[in-house]
Amino acid sequence: MAEQDWVSERFAEHQGRLRAVAYRILGSPGEAEDAVQEAWLRVSRADTDDIENPAGWLTTVVARVCLNMLESRRARREESAGAMPPEPGVPDVAKEDPEDEALLADSVGVALMVVLDKLNPAERLAFVLHDVFAVSFGEIGTVLGRSPAAARQLASRARRRVQTASDETDAARSPKREVIAAFLAAARNGDFEALLEVLDPDAVVGEVRGGHAVAAFFSGRAEAARLALVGGDPSAVWSHRGEAKAVFTFSVHDGKITRIDIDTDPERLRGLEIAFLSAK
């Protein structure tokens, strides 16, 4: 009975952090609560005689549960369940513990959770546990059944992917993207006045110079050009049968397009990283 009381007290003591860990790994408050409940069932039946670090032990148990849930989710090819909560915290998570609330607010945000969904379960767990909760690679390796070096490599690879995706997300939401989207819409619709609104008076496209001349050149054209990130930079791409045939890169200053360069060289185009974006 005394041992059960010890487990209950330790679990209650660290429950806020455990929910925070589960939420950040899984991305869903509902799934996080399920993970914590499953972890409680496991620890309540466990032998605790050799437990020297209750916080680390409990985190490891919750992390294992979350890993199983991530792998099951991936096997079913389902997206993360539940809507993303608003920044900065999670409803009903660690309300009584200011330290845990700060932990949630300072850790990865909702936008980054979308990026984390692109990682495989092992990468995601290694990244979140180490970079957000400062769990050692030795402990992470224990959860994953891998060496500390392998856990470090997983976290490093995940960190690079997260940084790249975050940079692309920022670029996709940038004012430059909005200007290019407005330009493409005006060009397709043949809206000369709208084109002039986004073109600098001295805009240049090849040998065509001046905002009015550039607007006349593009008005009613670019029907097939699509908004895209090219090497992480907002651009436009015309493709045929899935192959890029022309890339339009834009120079923008003070919300106006000052220059448009068009590249149609097949060799250069084949080496570009292109990610198409929605118009909105």
Looking up residue 63, the CATH number of its domain turns out to be: 1.20.140.160
Same domain assignment for residues 127 and 198: no
List per-block mean pLDDT (blocks of 10 residues) for the chain, which spans 280 residues.
71 89 87 92 79 85 93 66 38 39 42 71 92 90 93 90 67 79 91 94 92 90 82 85 87 93 88 73
Answer yes or no: are the C-beta atoms of 202 and 258 closer than 8 Å. yes
Q: Which of 146, 171, 196 is the last residue of a domain?
A: 171
Q: Is the pTM of this model over 0.95?
A: no
Pairing status of strand 225-230 against strand 274-276: antiparallel
Residues 18 and 68 in one domain: yes
Pair (200, 258) in one structural domain: yes
My answer on whether 61 and 116 are in the same domain is yes
Same domain, 30 and 102: yes
The residue type found at 35 is A
Angle at 120 between CA 146 and CA 84, to 5 degrees: 125
* Cβ neighbour number for residue 259 with a 10 Å cutoff: 16
Range of the domain at 61: 2-171
Q: Is 273 exposed, middle or buried (0-12, 13-18, 19+ CB in 10 A)?
A: exposed
CATH code at 245?
Answer: 3.10.450.50
- Residue 140: the pLDDT is 94
Both 166 and 238 in a single domain? no
Residue 153 and residue 24 share a domain: yes
189 and 125 in a single domain? The answer is no
Domain count, the chain: 2
Q: What is the DSSP string of the chain?
A: -HHHHHHHHHHHHHHHHHHHHHHHHHS-HHHHHHHHHHHHHHHHTS--TT-S-HHHHHHHHHHHHHHHHHHHHHHHTPPPSSPPPPSS--TTSSTT-HHHHHHHHHS--HHHHHHHTTS-HHHHHHHIIIIIT---HHHHHHHHTS-HHHHHHHHHHHHHHHHHHHHHHHHHTSHHHHHHHHHHHHHHHT-HHHHHHHEEEEEEETTEESHHHHHHHHTT--TTEEEEEETTEEEEEEEETTEEEEEEEEEEETTEEEEEEEE--HHHHHT--EEE----
C-beta separation of 138 from 148 below 8 A:
yes
8 A C-beta contact, residue 112 and residue 162: yes
